[in-house]
Amino acid sequence: MPSQYPERMSSWLDWQKSYRFGVLLVLPPEQVRDEINALRSIYDPASHSRAEAHISLTVPFPREADEHAWSALQRIASGFTPFTIRYGPLVPFLPKPGAALDIQPQAELDRLRCALEDCDIFKGAGPRTYPFWAHMTIAEFISVADTTKLVREIGGGHSPRGCFICDHISHLVPDERFCFREVRRLVLRT
């Protein structure tokens, strides 16, 4: 059976290589993803081509998860009741370029993240680059001028806002072109 993990990563940047075994995140429902992806395709087509709209939770897996690890992760996910996620307004990353939609409830997402990252599969994982802040990126890897333009165009009252029920966590893995796809789901308590 072929591996779901990329073998050739020669075209990847160094920071991308840590994502080989994937990451756990929240994928919004398709209708929400479509709305946010439309903006991502305009303001940051490069990032949009690699991953759909999402809310990152964990650091990347440091190794391939076996069935024991997946069972442990599912037990943790099952301990959480589905909850409502609210998104918006747009928040700039300034002084770092980029902008994202604010996400609430931060505390519940952080509690879920901490529980997942406490699993043995994350032992030996690289450190988190930035403190955890749940958000849905619209654009990153853009200039400060483009960030200012983005905030002017879709900030304030023009910013997407809404909510959805988070009832599962997704495991996304990149392919050899560093484009992510969902390969597994962890279902919250039903």
In this predicted model, what pLDDT tens digit does every residue of 1-18 receive, in sequence order?
A: 345 888 888 889 898 999
Query: What Å distances lie between residue 162 and 102, 133, 141, CA to CA?
Result: 11, 18, 25
Higher-confidence position of 33 and 143? 33
- What backbone torsions phi and psi does residue 129 show, to the nearest 5 degrees? -70, -40
Residue 42 above 60 pLDDT?
yes
Q: Which residue has the tokens 């809310």?
A: 55
pTM: predicted TM-score of the whole model, two decimal places: 0.92
- Coil, strand or helix: which one is 55? strand
Predicted pLDDT of residue 2:
46
In a domain, 34, yes or no: yes
In a domain, 120, yes or no: yes
In a domain, 3, yes or no: no
pLDDT above 70: percentage of residues in the chain: 98
**Mean pLDDT score of the chain, rounded to an integer?**
92
- Give the count of domains, the chain: 1
Name residue 173's beta-bridge partners: 181
In a domain, 175, yes or no: yes
Higher-confidence position of 79 and 154? 79
Predicted pLDDT of residue 64:
95
In a domain, 106, yes or no: yes
Predicted pLDDT of residue 1:
36
Predicted pLDDT of residue 21:
95
Confidence of residue 176 (pLDDT cuts 50, 70, 90): very high
CATH of the domain at 68: 3.90.1140.10
Between CA 132 and CA 136 the distance in angstroms is 13
| Domain membership of residue 178 as a residue range | 30-187
What tens digit of pLDDT does each residue of 64-101 get?
A: 999 999 999 999 999 999 999 999 999 887 778 889 99
Beta strands in the chain, from DSSP E residues, in sequence order: 23-26, 55-56, 83-92, 99-104, 135-139, 162-166, 168-174, 180-187
In a domain, 16, yes or no: no
In a domain, 171, yes or no: yes
Confidence of residue 158 (pLDDT cuts 50, 70, 90): confident
Q: What is the DSSP string of 97-151?
A: S-EEEEEE-HHHHHHHHHHHHTSGGGTTPPPPSS----EEEEE-S--HHHHHHHH
In a domain, 158, yes or no: yes
Q: Judging by DSSP bridges, how do beta strands 135-139 and 55-56 pair with one another?
A: unpaired
